[in-house]
Structure formats: C-alpha cells, structure tokens
Amino acid sequence: MPQISGNALVLLIQLLDERISTLEKMISETDEAAEELVEYEDELLSCITVENELMVAYEEALKETGNLPSYRDLTPGRQTKSAG
C-alpha cells in the first residue's frame, strides 16, 4: 500500500467532506426528474466509497502517530463514524 502522510490524509478528508456536503445539498435541491440528479448521486456514492477508504487509512495513521485530530474533528459538518 502506498505511503501517505497524516497531513495529506487530513487535507484529503477535509476536501472530500466538503464535496460530499455540497453533493448532498445539490441532491436535496434538485428536482427528482432532473437528468443531473443521477450524476450527483453517482458522484456521491463514489465519494462515500473513497471516504471509507480514507477513514481506514486515517485510523492506521492515528495508531502510528498520536498528534492528528480525530476524524470527527475533520468532518464537522457531517455525522460520520469517528476514527480516534
């Protein structure tokens, strides 16, 4: 598995959290008959899959170093499972 720094994980998690929040808002504001709704939902599912992978990697990084914020602190706008 490629090595990635804790700082890089923090930034990626924050960026992904922002994108997921944006997509959730776009989905909630889009008419159910709109063509772009499927695209938003597909992208959201992809983002959630990546988020789960990053969460596992972050849990490993937390085990190796204790100076990272909790996962929940990185995703304040959404309710996610907390790593650490």
Residue extents of the structural domains in the chain: 6-70
Could you give the angle at which helices 6-29 and 36-64 cross, rounded to 10 degrees? 150
Mean per-residue pLDDT for 6-11? 94
> The pTM is what?
0.84
Residues contacting residue 59 through CB under 8 Å, at least 6 positions apart: 71, 83, 84
Confidence of residue 1 (pLDDT cuts 50, 70, 90): low
Which pLDDT score is estimated for 10?
95
The amino acid sitting at 55 is M
Gap between the Cα atoms of 29 and 13, Å rounded: 24
- CA dihedral 65→66→68→70, nearest 10 degrees, is 130
Per residue in 38-80, pLDDT (tens digit) is 999 999 999 999 999 999 999 999 988 878 998 989 988 665 4
Which pLDDT score is estimated for 45?
98
